[in-house]
Chains A and B, each alone.
Chain A
């Protein structure tokens, strides 16, 4: 057995580097077209090492949401399903909470000094 040589940073570090550059990137399997988040070295289930970086559309829908009630202040935590398929844990900014099914759009914000993907509610079409 010869250990596989590795060159450069792995997908987790690459993802963070994209965020620092202001880009929300996710992975997509070249063979199946299936999107993957969080970033990995291979597509889960198939093990195919054909994941390539693509820009996320940033559009998604709230799959579920809760408000963490803390003495220091309350904040929501949501699962957002990206239009590409994968879900991520995140926050919906600018609102206390929002109904499941609400359309949201990604934005990169600083949380504790580090860039992280958060979401804003997309105003319904026709709204001012």
Chain B
């Protein structure tokens, strides 16, 4: 049941981005299309080569219809699964299944949003839950604040420990010219920032930016003849736990425990094998929870694990080297941006932030309010 037959059968061969940060005057689909064309060109392919399409956005009810029409694609395989920010990691699984079954030969996975310049607030199609709506929770921060508070209560995690996660993200961002938030950020800056939802301040929250992202995935045999170093899909696994935060059994433990185990089983690897760890950092607490749930440290020890620069440049574990959703880019649903950084590092194209050794990269997507968890393990030529 591990799905190990899919290990290394497909690879990401093209990546592209557009308008990260602020892209005034550009629509969501324009950013998505520009990123998509960049990804296809990066692979050395043309639009006519794309016969599979996966898309989810914050604004399109039928995303594959909108994207296929806009780009003029006639996909044989399409999947518009939307489970929030983790959609793009599960798209990797859907694409790999379709490619391996021979239903299509090149799948475009894409996203775009202009939510910063269009309004400056997080855009989501997530509908309120009838039994929660009267109390006016703010989607999604209320849920993450409740999880953070509970983690502090159970494990003695402090706001300063959470702040160190934001500081590490900023230090990585300062090495990434594509990152939107640059400049010094101290623990005190995070702690003294405006409180939004106790215990989370504005600096515990991801950015709201514009941006498009896309990648192209093909079967491994074909990948080897294309122009970029392939980033092989070694393992991927997902899990659901709830829709509304009141139904989450334990707010300090996500089903990343399950998605990670599934992805590692398919890949035949373990957490310690990862050279790069890309974790969906919607809020500082999510980085901490996923470090624990994916096995990088014991449950409850995440706060102590990240303290004092341990996940920043030169630290013990390379986490979110792009600067993450906290400091690089976060246009509403960020999952695809994790994959782009992982592929960049696996290729050795990450410039000043390039890791000395990067053969195995983990991408962990999160959707809803800690609701959907999808883990993908990517590897370079040394892993297949």
Contacts and interface: CB of A to CB of B under 8 A. Distances in A.
Contacts of A112: 134
Contact of A100 (B137, B138, B145, B149): B149
A69 B142 contact: no
Given A69-B195, A69-B196, A12 B150 contact: no
Given A12-B130, A88-B131, A89-B132, A68 B244 contact: no
Given A88-B131, A90-B135, A64 B197 contact: no
B257 to A, nearest CB: 19
Interface residues of A, number: 25
Interface in B188-219: 194-200
Given A64-B146, A68-B197, A69-B197, A77 B134 contact: no
Contact of A66 (B130, B136, B146, B194): B146
Contacts of A37: 131
Contacts of B134: 111-112, 114, 116
A79 B135 contact: no
Interface in B111-167: 130-132, 134-138, 142, 145-147, 149-150, 153
Contact of B135 (A63, A64, A89, A100): A89
Interface residues of B, number: 27
Nearest to A15: B131
Interface string A24-63: 0000000000000110000000000000000000000001
A122 interface: no
Contact of A38 (B131, B142, B145, B251): B131
A116 B146 CA distance: 21
Given A69-B196, A69-B197, A87 B246 contact: yes
Nearest to B195: A69
B197 A66 contact: yes
Contacts of B196: 68-69
A20 to B, nearest CB: 13
A10 B149 CA distance: 35
A100 B153 contact: yes
Nearest to A75: B136
Given A38-B131, A66-B149, A77-B142, A97 B198 contact: yes
Contacts of A79: 146, 245-246, 251
A103 interface: no
Given A12-B130, A66-B145, A116 B198 contact: no
Contact of B153 (A64, A90, A111): A64
B194 A64 contact: no
B170 to A, nearest CB: 23
Nearest to A118: B135
Interface of B: 130-132, 134-138, 142, 145-147, 149-150, 153, 194-200, 244-247, 251
27 contacts: A12-B130, A37-B131, A38-B130, A38-B131, A63-B150, A64-B147, A64-B149, A66-B197, A66-B198, A67-B195, A68-B136, A68-B137, A68-B138, A68-B142, A68-B196, A68-B197, A69-B197, A69-B198, A77-B136, A79-B246, A88-B246, A89-B244, A89-B245, A100-B149, A112-B134, A116-B134, A116-B135
Given A69-B198, A77-B135, 15 more contacts: A63-B150, A63-B251, A64-B146, A64-B149, A64-B150, A64-B153, A66-B142, A67-B197, A67-B198, A68-B196, A69-B196, A69-B197, A79-B146, A87-B247, A100-B149
* The 6 residue pairs across chains A and B that have the minimum distance between CB atoms: A66-B145, A38-B131, A64-B146, A116-B134, A64-B150, A89-B132
Interface of A: 12, 37-38, 63-69, 75, 77, 79, 87-91, 97, 100-101, 111-112, 114, 116
